[in-house]
Amino acid sequence: MAQPKDYGFDEDQSMIKDSIRKFLDKTAPMGELRKSIEGTEDPYHGKKRLGSFDRKVWQEMVALGWTALTVPEAQGGAGMNLVTAASLCEELGRAAIATPLTTTLHSTFVLREANTDASNECLGKIAEGQSCTLAIQDAAGSFDITDTEVREVDGVLNGVAYFVQDAQKTDLIIVAARGTDGVGLYLLPVSAAGVVVQPDTIVDLTRDQARVSLSNVAAESLVAAEQAAGVMRQSMPAILTMISADIAGAAEWQLQTTAEYAKIRTQFDRPIGFFQAVKHPIVNMMISVDETRSLVYNAACAYDFEPEDAAKFARMAKSSASDTANFCSNRSVQLHGGIGFTWEADVQIYFKRQMHNQYLYGDGAWQRQELGALV
């Protein structure tokens, strides 16, 4: 099936995107984020950084139906597609907001691909406002769930899952665990007895990451062993696309903020934007952002309409996005001069979010390596 015009981005998606942007501009000011991370300036010597977020804003997001946006209608959601989810993630990145919504969206697409009674029940919980994250990686960071270090016996899980995103913010965890028949996917509440969340030290101020230790934790089977690997393989293009969309949104903020700064910062009695040494990098930032955004919506549209090409286009998008995250972060800090390196400048918050995004589920070099097998 051929892709529709404009990647299927129609008036409904445009209206949703505009409403999301207006809401975030109004309710997610950078000052609120700074209050929540006060004292954590140095991740190694400052206060312990908790996975805090504005729960009032989160409840407003739930009330607006954001958690239900991509949940199928049969499970109480709006049944929207990945193009819509990508536009939402782009705005979340532009606002650099601390929220479990991104990981919940990732989990939603895994549950959609699973399409079992248990996964559909979990989708209903997400539509009602519960948050969810994925615990599928081993200590080496492998994205292949067959490498999981968690073991399952009679519905009880033991072991450790690594690099779990926003584990301190979410209500539910989807865990990959190896049983006698192979690796399956299991659901458990973060608050369950035997679950210990051990936060990692990361630079990103807007998110948290953790190791999740499981000791005799009773869990519900979501996907049988013979289906789990296929479910993750089919949902990974959606996950990569949404991360790439987050990067595109944050990079757009970096571009616009740097361009505005170049208009007001003067040197030699001229705005620094007058000089080619500043002007050209900003133009290159714009080109990089536009390239990534185009690849993001191409990948989202392929997932919705051309699933046979979804994996290829998603890896192309994440490859471009990871490089854009690196380049725009570097240029935004450098072109802000001395202030760009300081805690007082908002630029550093986006820089740190982008560095985390760059390597999340594989950086550009790794994506190109994987892409080689698909083309």
Using DSSP's 3-state secondary structure scheme, residue 119 falls into helix
Cβ pair 192, 155 in contact under 8 A? no
What pLDDT does residue 136 have? Answer: 97
Q: Nearest to residue 56, comparing CAs of 104, 20, 98?
A: 98
Return the exposure string of 131-164: e unless at least 16 CB atoms fall within 10 Å of the residue's CB, then b.
bbbbbbbbeeeebebebbbbebeeebbbbbbbbb
Q: Specify the pTM.
A: 0.95
Q: Nearest to residue 201, comparing CAs of 36, 48, 8?
A: 48
d(CA 319, CA 326): 11
Q: What is the pLDDT averaged over residues 7-36?
A: 83
In terms of C-beta density within 10 A (0-12 exposed, 13-18 middle, 19 or more buried), how is residue 55 classed?
exposed
Domains in the chain: ranges and CATH: 5-131 (1.10.540.10), 133-224 (2.40.110.10), 228-371 (1.20.140.10)
* pLDDT tens by residue, 229-263: 999 999 999 999 999 999 999 999 999 999 999 99
* pLDDT tens by residue, 27-80: 877 777 777 677 666 666 666 767 778 888 899 999 999 999 999 999 999 999
Strand 172-179 and strand 132-135: the pairing is parallel
Cβ pair 235, 246 in contact under 8 A? no
d(CA 358, CA 243): 9
Residue 22 — very low, low, confident or very high, per pLDDT cuts 50/70/90?
A: very high
